[in-house]
Structure 1
Amino acid sequence: MTAAEVAMHHSAKALVVQVQRNASGRPGPRVITGKYRASWRSEVHRGGPVVIGEVGTSAAQGRRLEFGFVGADSLGRHYHQPPFPHLGPAVEKAGPVLVRELGQAVVSAL
């Protein structure tokens, strides 16, 4: 595994941890069962010379919790749910760490 892959694995896992922290109460969503928070995953793979890190959830409520929802759902129920940002703030916090770690990986590879 290259230094860039190690840095991406570390950063992706750190982002998942931060999202989970942010999804543990206000200003993020409140925890009811913990299933949503536990649904966040990270995956890192290579695409040729490019290292790709993906972080996300398969939970249906993810987008609605992050951005809010106003209107009727597919069953005709009406909602005015405010956003509870948890991914966006985590990315803002983790971004500089990722850039620093990938920069160190590039320097060590040269």
Structure 2
Amino acid sequence: MEAAMRHSAQALAQDVRQRASGRPGPRVITGRYRASWSSETHRVGPVVVSEVGTSAPQGRRLEFGFVGADSFGRHYSQRPYPHLGPAVEQAGPLIVQVLGQAVEGAL
């Protein structure tokens, strides 16, 4: 189960990186944002938990867009470039299938 979760989370992070590599997602300037996406899998008691995310501050703004003034008073009207949401929507059914197979294999 843990291996299936780890593999699924890594595949999701890779898909997000690809979607964050130019239009319709955000443009690549330095590649640091794309490289900031990672996955981590660990156990919490009998439960296996996987997290996929970024520590980059622009992640939320790129995914959802931003209209208004920032903390420096600069005004923006930045459209969203969804890359995480579409990756999760596409990966969801596949992850359920992989985890179901892992459970069946363990039984």
> Which of 101, 104, 107 is the matching residue for 1:104?
101
Answering whether residue 52 of structure 2 is matched by residue 55 of structure 1, we say yes
The one-letter code sitting in structure 2 at the alignment partner of 1:55 is: V
- TM-score, structure 1 normalization: 0.96
Higher normalized contact order (CA 8 Å, seq sep 6+, divided by chain length): 1
Unaligned 5+ segments in structure 2 are none
The number of aligned residues is: 107
Matches within 5 A, 1:1-110: 4-110=1-107
The alpha-carbon deviation at position 38 of structure 1 amounts to 0.2
The one-letter code sitting in structure 1 at the alignment partner of 2:65 is: G
CA distance in 2, matches of 1:57, 1:48: 25
Secondary structure of residue in 1 paired with 2:42: strand
Return structure 1 stretches of 4+ with deviation > 6 angstroms: none
Percent of matched pairs sharing the same residue: 74
The alpha-carbon deviation at position 43 of structure 1 amounts to 0.2
The alpha-carbon deviation at position 83 of structure 1 amounts to 0.2
CA distance in 2, matches of 1:98, 1:51: 13
- TM-score, structure 2 normalization: 0.98
Measured against aligned partners, the alpha-carbon deviations of 1:57-83 in whole angstroms (never above 9, x if no partner) come to 000000000000000000000000000
